[in-house]
Amino acid sequence: MTSAMFCTKLDLIYGMKKKNMMKKRIQNLTLALTCAATVMGASSCDIDNKENVNIYYANAIVTVKPLPDSNPSFYMQLDDSTTLVAKNISQSPFGDKEVRALAALEITGEDAGIYDKVAYVYAIDSILTKNTVPFEDSKTADSMYGTDPVEMIGDWMTVVEDGYITLRVRVATSTLGATHKLSLLTGVNPDDPYEVEFRHKYDGPMISDIHSPSCVLGDALVAFRLDSLPDTQGETVKLTLKWKSFRGERMAIFDYCTDAASGGAIQIEDGASFLTNIK
C-alpha cells in the first residue's frame, strides 16, 4: 500500500514569519492545506518508509489529469511543456476529476515512456479548482460573489499555466469557522475579454481593522479554469486581473497565451497561515 498526504503545518513548508500581534491566534489556526488525498486505500505520512526531507516541502503545482480505464489512471502536467508520470502511485487520488494540486515531487531520471519525466510523489493535495463565472451586472455580482477585500500574494504559487490561473490569496477573518467564497468573473469589460475580476464573499462578522488583535489573516490557494476566455490563437495578450484589496482597487497584468505559461508581478507579502474553509 502506498499513500501520499500533507501531514505537516504549512509554516514548516513555507517558513512564513508571523506578525507578533497575531502570532498566538495564527498558531491556533494550525491548518494544513487539507491534510487529505488518500491514495490506494492507505493513510499514512510514512510513504514506503522512504525517508527524505522532500516530504515536508511542496515544490510544484501540477494539473492532475485523469486517464479513465488506464493504468496508471492519471498523469501530471507540470507546466505547458512537461508531463509527469508518478513512480509510486498508479491511481489518481482525485478519481476522475481534473484538478490543480500542490505537490512535493522528486524527478527520478528514469525512462518515462510517452511522458517527459518520472516523479516520485511524496505528498499531493488538491487545490480548490473552479470555473469562472460570467459577469451579469454589478448588483448581482455584489450580492452573489461579494465585495470583501482580499490580497494577492505574488510568489511561485501565483501563476498562469496549462489553461488555469492559480492564485495565492490572503483574507481576513474574525471568526475561525467563517467561510470565504472565492470567485473569478469574466466579461467585466465589454471592450476587453481578457479582463477578469476576483471576488471574495465572507460570511463572518464585519472586519473594520485588519490590524486588530482579534483579526486573523489567512491564506488560501484557488485555481480557475480559463477555458471560457476567447482562444488567443497562439498570440500573447495581456490578461488583466482586478480585485479589491485592503488598500483599495488593485490590478495585475499577466502575459497570457491560451494554454501557455506566464507568471505575474504581484506584491509579495508574508505573515499568514493557510485556510481550508474556502469554497
Percent of the chain with pLDDT over 90: 55
CATH assignment of 10-126, among 2.40.50.500, 2.60.260.20, 3.40.190.290, 3.50.50.60? 2.40.50.500
User: pLDDT-based confidence at 279, cuts 50/70/90?
Assistant: low
More confident residue, 148 or 45: 148
Start and end residues for every CATH 2.60.40.2370 domain found in the chain: 129-274
Start and end residues for every CATH 2.40.50.500 domain found in the chain: 10-126
- Class of domain 129-274 as given by CATH: mainly beta
Amino acid letter for position 142: D
Whether the pLDDT of residue 262 is over 80: the answer is: no
pTM of the full predicted structure? Answer: 0.77
State the average pLDDT for the chain.
78
Residue 7, pLDDT score: 31
Whether the pLDDT of residue 21 is over 70: the answer is: no
User: pLDDT-based confidence at 205, cuts 50/70/90?
Assistant: confident
**What is the average per-residue pLDDT within 81-100?**
93
